[in-house]
Amino acid sequence: MNTILEVTDLHIEFHDSQEPFVAVNDFDLKLSEGEIVGIVGESGSGKSMSALAIAGLLNRKSLTKTGTIYFEDVDLLSCDRKLLREFQGDEISMIFQEPMTSLNPVKRIGWQVEEPLRIHHPEVNKEDRKKRAIEMLRAVELRDPEAVYNMYPHELSGGMRQRVMIAAAMIGNPQILIADEPTTALDVTVQAQIVELLRKINREKGTSIIFISHDLSLVSALCSKVIVMQNGNIVETGTSEEVFNNPKEDYTKALIAAIPKIDLS
């Protein structure tokens, strides 16, 4: 399989206080076409910070970023903002753990799902945008997508809102989908449904996925490769089978022992 994304020696350091704080240290990642990679670790391990850097969403003046993030022969870490915006939300999309903070409470669902098309594909007319939005809402298995199109976020359940976020992220048919703790606020049954939906997207569209979670049972059900992080560092990496069946590091062993298993088969 061809490598679609390669991150090398990513280092993220904050300068908000007198002493610099290293959030991510020498992070490496190779993502192949159609591959699902899981990044796991406790809160503060650096997994979400790494993902935000890949998505081009770390732009605070109080931090420094070094290393390289290559996508289509472009270093996303050093390229200009105009070029980066061409990839953001179109070739590389991201969904977050709490859609209520990502969705606009005063805009209808359809308008929000269509937004990536308005930004990246202005050639698509209003009628076709609506058609594609409804098709995506149906693709993420929302009942009565025509009705959902005209609703507001507060009228939907947490699981429905997360499906809306996935629809918005996928409407431009990105090559990479970054899912940052997308199931944390959901109950176990809905978690399993969202994981199955991501698996379906990967299988049917060939989308490469970076799945970030503190829950190893979900990662083991979805991902072919796993990166384990602690305190900004990668402590272990390997195939899911290697990491879950024969973990080398004590930290990985502790995570596996501490997290209850969920049967998603």
User: Cα separation of 200 and 194, whole Å?
Assistant: 10
Are 180 and 48 spatial neighbours (Cβ–Cβ below 8 Å)? yes
Name the amino acid, one letter, at 105: P
Which residues touch 195 (CB under 8 Å, ≥6 apart)? 183, 218, 221, 222, 264
For 1-91+176-265, the fitting CATH number among 3.40.630.30, 1.10.3720.10, 3.40.50.300, 3.10.110.10 is: 3.40.50.300
- What pLDDT was estimated at residue 65? 93
pLDDT of residue 265: 52
Cα 39 from Cα 71, distance rounded (Å): 19
pTM higher than 0.85:
yes
Q: Where are the domains of the chain?
A: 1-91+176-265, 99-173
**How confident is the model over 21-49, as pLDDT tens digits?**
999 999 999 999 999 999 999 888 999 99
Please list the ranges in the chain whose pLDDT falls under 50.
none
Q: Identify the pLDDT of residue 185.
A: 75
46-74 pLDDT per residue, tens:
999 999 999 988 877 788 999 999 998 99
Contact, 14 vs 54, CB < 8 A?
no
Residue 258 has a pLDDT of 76
